[in-house]
Amino acid sequence: MNTEKLTSSVKGMMKSFGLPRIIIAVFLLVLFILAPFVGVNVGTSLSDTLNRFGMNAVMVLAMVPMIHSGCGLNFGLPLGIIAGLLGATISLQVNIPGPTSFLLAIVFATPFAVILGWGYGQLLNRVKGGEMMIATYVGFSSVAFMCIMWLLLPFSNPTMVWGYSGSGLRTTISVEGYYLHVLNDFLAIRLSDHLVIPTGMILFFALLAFVIWAFLHTKTGTAMTAVGSNPIFARASGINVDKVRTLSVVMSTWLGAMGILVYQQSFGFIQLYMGPFYMALPAVSAILIGGASVNKASILNVVVGTFLFQGIVTMTPSVMNSMIHTDMSEVIRIVVSNGMILYALTRKTEAVR
Amino acid sequence: MKQNLSRTFWIRVAAIAIILVFSVFLFFIGKQHTVLVDNKAVTVNGVEVKALQLVEVEVNSLGSLELAARDRDKFDVTGQKHKVTVIYTDANWEEHTIVRTFRIPLMQEMVMILLPALVADPEGDQSLWLENYELPTYAMTAPAEEPVVTDDLAVLSDI
Amino acid sequence: MTLHMTKTQKVLRFMGNNTVPILFLIICAFGIPLSGYSANYLISEVVVRIARNSFLIVSLLIPILAGMGLNFGMTLGAMAGQIGLIFISDWGIAGIPGMLLAMIISTPISVVLGWWCGKILNMAKGREMVTSYIIGFFMNGIYQLVVLYGMGAIIPIRSNALVLPRGYGIRNTVNLIGIRKSLDNLLTVRLFGIPVPLVTFAVIALLCLFVLWFKKTKLGQDMRAVGQDMEVARAAGIRVEHTRIVSIVISTVFAGYGMILYLQNIGTLNTYNSHMQIGMFSVAALLVGGATVAKANIRNVFLGVILFHLMFIVSPMAGKNLIGQAQLGEYFRVFVSYGVITISLVLYEVRKKRDQSLAGLVLAAEQEETV
């Protein structure tokens, strides 16, 4: 009798968690177990995974507000990334070296994020029901538009512009001397020769995650959740649905801007032009791997999802390469991330959108 | 059920069979081969035959090629059945023309016509002067590593 | 609310319905003189593009008829066509037989992929476009698995020119010299000094006739019913899910043939990139022609090809002459391509809402009258 109940409850848990996620989690575990046997240092792998976790977590966090308010998966993340890029480039143009440049980048990025997010939100409010497709193409169009802008805007810092002509930004700009590893090295814990925990970056993410979590428990935050799960009831309760949705879009865009800044300080480079083009897809699939759906997401989803996704992206090349001497990591990454998004899109959801 | 199995099912099977036969037909008539023509001294049945001083060769109507001694050239053809025309001047300053048809094995990419052998025995079977040819593997000097570019952002290229 | 529209209202209505083509006309009107190309050059280039791309764009029409929106999953058909071409290149089959054989090989692959794609789209009703978009990316991964790792290793490929030096996987570019322009060169006529590939146009015309005929058949009418209202169609006894899958299968198969036609004109196969771009550009071209997510016809196809490709051709030179950097023109045309899809999608959603609210108002007014 007891075993029956146990198996049925385990089955229930497995069903709600979803078979693909279990497969991915098991796959990652297998990779970690195999690692020492094929000569891959577990410490370095863990360290790399944590590093990539920190780099990407904020951008995955950016998905949460829009999912909560029912705007669907934010395929238009590139818009927020562009706000962040503008902040970064202007900060470098102002040319104050050292950690202050990071704060300056945040300060400069914020107004862009708010304005772009507001416009984007207004647009999404007019197209309820088809947000995801339009978000994708708004993201692409804005990246393409900024390509033109990066060529034309009057930047002059010699580290940023092309050597010969002196105008037009380079494709990748190094942040060395400015805010390279500014968060990574802050309070970094060195456990061993191979294992380094980038505490600063993780703390930054934890701070932002806490802010979002706290916000979702305020009155406006609960209103946001209400709008997402039942817009008609929300409107009947007197909530201004459009305003709340716009707010969620602005928050999402701003988090996207923060996310790319965190990414850059760890990666070491600002990637312009077509760099941000496909950056929404890893973030979307990460949060879906973590257990979110098209209209339900929590901070736990962000943490679990980013860890699993980045774990696979880190471990597959090194382990598979040592095992079968083929680098199939790119293909696996494509299949896993897009497969996860497909899985989520084909689930029946409570609020039919 | 039994009735459905009779008509629609068999019509579909017949259609697929026709397409398969047609595909094989296409394979036959479309297969490309390379015909090398060689003017080198060659040993036929133990007899050494010298290369010709100057010879004109044409396969089908692809334009005639002139070969001196020890020259080699090629023709790209489609299909299996072909005609070769050889015009040469022998030791007595007489001009001879030989026209022969030959058949290339289906799965053979490259064949070679040994012109001296053909000239020595114009009426002989094609196996005397037509031989299969395989590219020597050492001739493949491909670069050690060719990076595969899977660049999704190649949107800027021409369509 | 009067039913009669004044002349200005009619003009505004026309402009509203055809915003995107008009916008493109304006862009071309500026771009063409700026680029400095001669009319002869432009016309011959556009003729080439029409012959090359129309088949692919026509394949997008049937899913729109069935209410599936823009079939970004045509990428799957393109992949099937490419696999067919890889095989005939390996076997060394040239000319028209090569092309036909590639089409025959691609058909079962397209059918399977299209059927699978249709099944998944049925599981994501209401989100077909995003889903087909992601399916395209997902299948790209599977395609790479097959072509970059499977071919040469598990699937026998003999030709050394095709396989990478490491022993398995197809190279970045495959030379299609065997079938290059084989259909185009069958019968080329020079009209006013511009070469026109007649046979290719004949094939495209045949496809258009097929689509027109198809719309009148029972299956075509079923699709239209499903496209307008799934529940009503279901109540009328139509097998809705099956019809939707069939529409995607047909589209995928034609996309495969279209890709082969496209590649025989270009002459080189870019193994890992061609299929990804082609979906986006075909959709953009169709939208530029005035089609919407719910309504598209043959007119839109040809108008779209002409306008879109005109813009595409003149942008780099126009950018160079205007600002001094050709790169700017290239970025501009990418921006315009994506922008036009964005605008079309937004207009479609906005108009849908407006029509819905209008219908609601009319219904409410009627109910008020009866009360």
Task: Report which secondary-structure segment, H or E, holds C281.
Answer: helix C274-288
Between chain B and chain C, the number of residue pairs with CB atoms below 8 A apart is 81
Query: CA-nearest residue of chain B to A273?
Result: B153
More confident position, A44 or A284: A284
Query: CA-nearest residue of chain C to A128?
Result: C349
Cβ-based burial of A312 (10 A; exposed 0-12, middle 13-18, buried ≥19): buried
| 3-class state of residue C189 by DSSP | strand
Find the chain B residues whose C-beta atoms sit closer than 8 A to any C-beta of C. 19, 22-23, 26-27, 29-33, 78, 109, 140, 142-146, 148-152, 154-157, 159
Whose CA is closest to A69, among A297, A286, A253, A292? A297
B contacts of C100 (beta carbons < 8 Å): 26
With CB atoms and an 8 Å threshold, state whether C331 touches A148.
yes
- The span from the CA of C272 to the CA of C147, in Å, is 9
Are A231 and A247 within 8 A, CB to CB? no
With CB atoms and an 8 Å threshold, state whether B26 touches C100.
yes
A contacts of C287 (beta carbons < 8 Å): none
Are A54 and A201 within 8 A, CB to CB? yes
Tokens of C157: 């490929």
Query: CA-nearest residue of chain B to A147?
Result: B156
Task: Report which secondary-structure segment, H or E, holds C196.
Answer: strand C194-197
Tokens of C41: 């050059």
With CB atoms and an 8 Å threshold, state whether C353 touches A126.
yes
Task: Look over chain A and give the mean of its residue pLDDT values, rounded to a whole number.
Answer: 86
A96, A97, A98, A100: CA torsion to nearest 10: 10
* Residues in chain B, overall count: 159
With CB atoms and an 8 Å threshold, state whether B26 touches C165.
no
- The answer, for A281 touching chain B at a CB cutoff of 8 Å, is no
Cβ-based burial of B91 (10 A; exposed 0-12, middle 13-18, buried ≥19): exposed
Residue A289's Cβ-side half-sphere holds a number of Cα atoms within 13 Å equal to 30
Please give the tally of structural domains in chain C: 1
* Residues in chain C, overall count: 371
How far, in Å, are A140, C283, C322 from residue A144 at the CA level? 6, 17, 19
Tokens of A96: 């104050």
B contacts of C276 (beta carbons < 8 Å): 152, 154
Task: Report which secondary-structure segment, H or E, holds B129.
Answer: helix B126-129
Is C171 among the domain residues? yes
- The span from the CA of A43 to the CA of A195, in Å, is 5
Q: What is the ipTM of this complex?
A: 0.86
Amino acid residing at C9: Q
Residue A351 has pLDDT above 50, yes or no: no
Neighbours of chain A (3+ CB pairs under 8 A): B, C
**For the ranges A75-84, A85-94, B52-61, C217-226, which has the lowest average pLDDT?**
B52-61
Is C188 among the domain residues? yes
Cβ-based burial of A87 (10 A; exposed 0-12, middle 13-18, buried ≥19): buried
Report the gap between the CA of C241 and the closest CA in chain A (Å). Answer: 15
Neighbours of chain C (3+ CB pairs under 8 A): A, B
Is C12 among the domain residues? yes
- The pLDDT tens digits of the residues spanning C176-190 come to 887 888 887 877 788
- The span from the CA of B157 to the CA of C180, in Å, is 20
Phi/psi at A163 (nearest 5 deg)?
A: -65, -55
Tell me the pLDDT band of A350, cut-offs 50, 70 and 90: very low
B contacts of C93 (beta carbons < 8 Å): 26-27, 30-32
Report which DSSP code applies to C145. Answer: I
Is C76 among the domain residues? yes
Tell me the pLDDT band of B138, cut-offs 50, 70 and 90: low
pTM flag (> 0.90): no
- The answer, for B149 touching chain A at a CB cutoff of 8 Å, is no
- The pLDDT tens digits of the residues spanning A126-145 come to 888 888 889 999 999 999 99
- The span from the CA of A58 to the CA of A306, in Å, is 9
Tokens of C273: 């990139």
Q: What percent of chain A has pLDDT over 70?
A: 95
- The pLDDT tens digits of the residues spanning A244-291 come to 999 999 999 999 999 999 999 889 888 998 889 889 999 999 999 888
- The span from the CA of C162 to the CA of C91, in Å, is 11
Closest partner CB to B148 (pick from C272, C278, C330): C272
Give residue limits of the domains in chain A. 58-276
A contacts of C130 (beta carbons < 8 Å): 75, 132-133, 136, 345
Q: What is the pLDDT of residue A56?
A: 92
Radius of gyration of chain B (CA): 24
Residue B139 has pLDDT above 60, yes or no: no
Tokens of A182: 């500014």
| 3-class state of residue A117 by DSSP | helix
Neighbours of chain B (3+ CB pairs under 8 A): A, C
- The span from the CA of A276 to the CA of A81, in Å, is 7
Q: Which residues pair with C268 in a beta bridge?
A: C175
Are A310 and A56 within 8 A, CB to CB? yes
Q: What is the pLDDT of residue C371?
A: 65
With CB atoms and an 8 Å threshold, state whether A278 touches B150.
no
Is C355 among the domain residues? yes
- The CATH number assigned to the domain holding C183 equals 1.10.3470
Report the gap between the CA of C324 and the closest CA in chain A (Å). Answer: 11
- The span from the CA of A222 to the CA of A306, in Å, is 25
- The answer, for A332 touching chain B at a CB cutoff of 8 Å, is no
| 3-class state of residue B93 by DSSP | coil
User: Strand locations in chain B, DSSP E?
Assistant: 32-38, 42-44, 47-49, 54-59, 65-68, 72-78, 81-89, 95-103, 110-114, 130-133
Tell me the pLDDT band of C127, cut-offs 50, 70 and 90: confident
- The answer, for B151 touching chain A at a CB cutoff of 8 Å, is no
Cβ-based burial of A2 (10 A; exposed 0-12, middle 13-18, buried ≥19): exposed
Query: CA-nearest residue of chain A to C351?
Result: A127
Is C85 among the domain residues? yes
- The span from the CA of C117 to the CA of C124, in Å, is 11
- The answer, for C150 touching chain A at a CB cutoff of 8 Å, is no
Q: Which residues pair with C173 in a beta bridge?
A: C270
**For the ranges A21-30, A266-275, C3-12, which has the lowest average pLDDT?**
C3-12
- The span from the CA of C248 to the CA of A126, in Å, is 29
Strands B54-59 and B65-68: antiparallel
Q: What is the pLDDT of residue B150?
A: 61
Number of neighbouring beta carbons within 10 Å of residue A232:
9
Report the gap between the CA of B56 and the closest CA in chain C (Å). Answer: 27
Whose CA is closest to C172, among C186, C159, C161, C157? C161
Residue A349 has pLDDT above 60, yes or no: no
């962000």: which residue's tokens?
A: A302
Between chain A and chain B, the number of residue pairs with CB atoms below 8 A apart is 7
Q: What percent of chain A has pLDDT over 90?
A: 33
Tokens of A296: 């339900």
- The span from the CA of A179 to the CA of A201, in Å, is 12
Query: CA-nearest residue of chain B to A274?
Result: B153
Domain extent at residue C291: 7-370
Residue B39 has pLDDT above 90, yes or no: no
With CB atoms and an 8 Å threshold, state whether A130 touches C349.
yes
Tell me the pLDDT band of A352, cut-offs 50, 70 and 90: very low
With CB atoms and an 8 Å threshold, state whether A330 touches B153.
no
Which residues, 6 or more positions from A159, have their beta carbon under 8 angstroms from its beta carbon?
A92, A173, A174, A177
Whose CA is closest to C98, among B21, B30, B106? B30
Strands B32-38 and B110-114: parallel
Find the chain A residues whose C-beta atoms sit closer than 8 A to any C-beta of C. 75, 123, 126-130, 132-134, 136-138, 140-141, 144-145, 147-148, 151-152, 168, 281, 326, 328, 330-332, 334-335, 338-339, 341-342, 345-346, 352-353
H helical segments located in A95-198? 100-126, 131-152
Is C2 among the domain residues? no
* Residues in chain A, overall count: 353
Q: What is the pLDDT of residue B157?
A: 54
